[in-house]
Chain A
């Protein structure tokens, strides 16, 4: 009964490096989301997906790319990491739109960019 699993849990990168964050859910959810959480800013939506093969931009998409090749997985990519991308990244998923189903969150990936 894993729910939403994020890997890795912690990572340190150098400016300019690339990496991919993986989110996996075992609840057969249609919708998946990537957020970042910064002190005093709350959770801000980066990208989201309403189904396999679909992606869309959220509030703060610049510098990130995503892919949803399989229903259960949602990948977040940083092509050229910048110190401003130092944050805690959370993935969430839900069955459908907000009127019926809440979002379930993973435990986050703590990313530091030096």
Chain B
């Protein structure tokens, strides 16, 4: 069983809709949670970075962490065609101080005009 599970999609939504993405994980030691966006034939770029539980908002993006359920979410409001990409969740534990990240497989999102 993978440490981090993520539905591969594709998730297709109309422009303006809310995109809801999530990951589940099994390692209770994870404390740092990230969402990366990856366009086709490009490298991942960091979108959101949260520590421990709670919510974080940045513009149209909201990240939520529920450590009790081992579940993290990313919401994209007022989605645009430019949001079409693969979204990767990643997480790490404090014991992995050299920066070990455990990635989900990524969810492909398609926003249609």
Interface residues of A (CB under 8 A from B): 4, 31, 33, 40-45, 48, 50, 56, 58, 90, 92, 94, 96-99, 102-108
Contact = CB atoms under 8 A, between A and B. Distances in A.
Task: Indicate the size class of the contact surface on chain B.
Answer: 20 to 34
Given A42-B4, A48-B98, A99 B43 contact: no
A102 B49 contact: yes
B34 A4 contact: no
A103 to B, nearest CB: 7
B43 to A, nearest CB: 3
A42 B103 contact: yes
Contact of B34 (A31, A50, A97, A102): A102
Nearest to A96: B99
B32 interface: yes
Contact of B42 (A94, A99, A107): A107
A68 B47 CA distance: 28
B100 interface: yes
B66 to A, nearest CB: 20
B99 A103 contact: yes
A41 B4 CA distance: 10
A74 to B, nearest CB: 13
Contact of B41 (A4, A103, A106, A108): A108
A108 B51 CA distance: 28
B44 A90 contact: yes
24 contacts: A31-B98, A40-B8, A42-B104, A42-B105, A42-B106, A43-B101, A43-B103, A45-B100, A48-B98, A48-B99, A92-B43, A96-B99, A98-B92, A98-B99, A98-B100, A99-B97, A102-B34, A102-B49, A103-B46, A104-B46, A105-B44, A106-B43, A107-B43, A108-B43
